[in-house]
Amino acid sequence: MLFSSIPFLFYFLPCVLILYFAVPKGGRNAALLVSSLFFYGWGEPRFLLFMVLTILGGYVAGLGMAGCGSNRRAARWWLAAFATLCLGVLGVCKYADFFLENFRAVTGLPVPLLRISLPIGISFYTFQILSYGIDVYRGTVPAQKNLVSLATYIALFPQLIAGPIVRYADLEPELRQRRCTLGDTAEGVQRFVMGLSKKILLANTLGELVQLFRASQEPSLLFAWMYAVAFTLQIYFDFSGYSDMAIGLGRIFGFHFLENFRYPYVAASITEFWRRWHISLGTWFRDYLYIPLGGNRVSRPRWVCNILVVWMATGLWHGAAWNFLLWGLFYAMLLILEKWWLGRLLEKSRPLSHIYVLLTVVLGFVLFDAASLGEAAGTFRALLGLGGLPAVTAESLYYLRSYGFLLLLAALGATPLPARAVKKLFSSGPGRAAGSVAAPLGTVCLLLACTAFLVDGSFNPFLYFRF
């Protein structure tokens, strides 16, 4: 079930809200858990098995580590067994066929593929339960003795499918006790509808241009760049829109999820970009992989190795394919160069640093979006005007006229300028009174517009669902 669908908006969500606020406060976690399991099992009930197995493993391992007391060796065994379970399930479901295919290509042996369908959101909830187990081992959080509370944390449907990756330490106080105020509900509804609008009105429409390029029989330099920019904007509004919806829904139910995006396309370096893009994933790898490896408090060769390991893992986390692995290594190379000498050059000219970031991010997403390395190479050739492609065709000019305004609007929307303008307009005096009317009215208008698009059949699945 998708957030951007009629069944979710007008059937599932209203029923969950009625159930949630009808039950006593002590039963609200159970109500959310039942709703979340139904939400996850809506399309593929069999995938619930993997989630239930992970939850039970985390519950037993947490209690086991807590029962070890000062016996760190025994606690390490519990953690190792739990990590093996989680990563084993993730590895079999997501990576087994990738490694088997490459093994067959290298050896020529007819090894059969497993062909296991990838459970939706498995990367996200696996990392969440792993962070819980590691934090219990470290002693930074107590082991959760209430199975319903732990299961609610893992299965919580607002952020189950595509994040943000929520730490147990951040959510544990609100799992025990939380308040649902009218102000939080209003802010949550507005945030959810804003995210829904980013997804449906911007990301989906940009996705149409991306599909037109893929189906085009008249490739050109202009069309290739339109595609690259459109996909870069699409994936931002698609994923940040989902994060907005997750944060908004969480607020409605009394949870406060951390921000996952902070206008990454205004960054002045790749280092800054990754502090603004998919923040929950970046901090997860920092705290649970990079720092345990030694971080930057090691020799330079060891630090380079740490960076490569982390970014290879980041690339493979996004998908079991060579383009994702190379995408991660591409960013590893840029981060290393920025640390050594490129960062000092970027500080001398902020306009040039922005151009550098936008260009590298666009090229990176071309590699990210490719179905194969051959397809990526073909698109890169088109972007460089190689292979005898014309600079412009009648088709590319037609789509530039059709989608040019949308591209400009989306580019502006990916900056903080619209939010700053709205805040300044409605922050004081008569504007504040007008804002109290404009905010709910604008929310209703956006919801109606999104509903019209959905009824009309304008739809694309979330890009990050496959991860």
Q: Tell me, what's the pLDDT at 86?
A: 92
CA 320 – CA 171 distance, rounded (Å): 30
- The string of DSSP codes covering 289-331 is IITTTTTTSS-HHHHHHHHHHHHHHHHHHH-SSHHHHHHHHHH
Q: Which two tokens stand for residue 455?
A: 């009824």
Exposed / middle / buried, residue 355 (Cβ in 10 Å: 0-12, 13-18, 19+): exposed
Cα–Cα distance measured from residue 231 to residue 207, given in angstroms and rounded to the nearest whole number: 7
Judge whether 243 and 251 are in contact, CB under 8 Å: no
Q: Are 229 and 397 in contact (CB under 8 A)?
A: no
Distance CA 89, CA 129 (A): 13
Count H helices, E strands: the chain? 22, 0
Distance CA 117, CA 77 (A): 31
Does 278 participate in catalysis according to the annotation?
no
Mean pLDDT of the chain, nearest integer? 90
Chain segment 335-372, per-residue pLDDT in tens: 999 999 888 888 888 889 999 999 999 999 999 999 89
Cα separation, 360 vs 346, whole angstroms:
14
Least confident of 114-128, 194-208, 231-245, 310-324: 114-128
Q: Rounded CA gap, 367 and 381, in Å?
A: 12
What are the structure tokens assigned to 423, written together?
């805040």
Which of 256, 278, 318, 354 is flagged as catalytic? Answer: 318
Q: How does pLDDT run across 38-72, given as a tens digit for each residue?
A: 999 887 788 899 899 999 999 999 999 999 888 88
Coil, helix or strand at residue 144: coil
Confidence of residue 115 (pLDDT cuts 50, 70, 90): confident
Helices 48-66 and 28-41, axial angle in degrees (round to 10): 140
**CA 79/CA 85 separation, integer angstroms:** 10
Coil/strand/helix, residue 30: helix
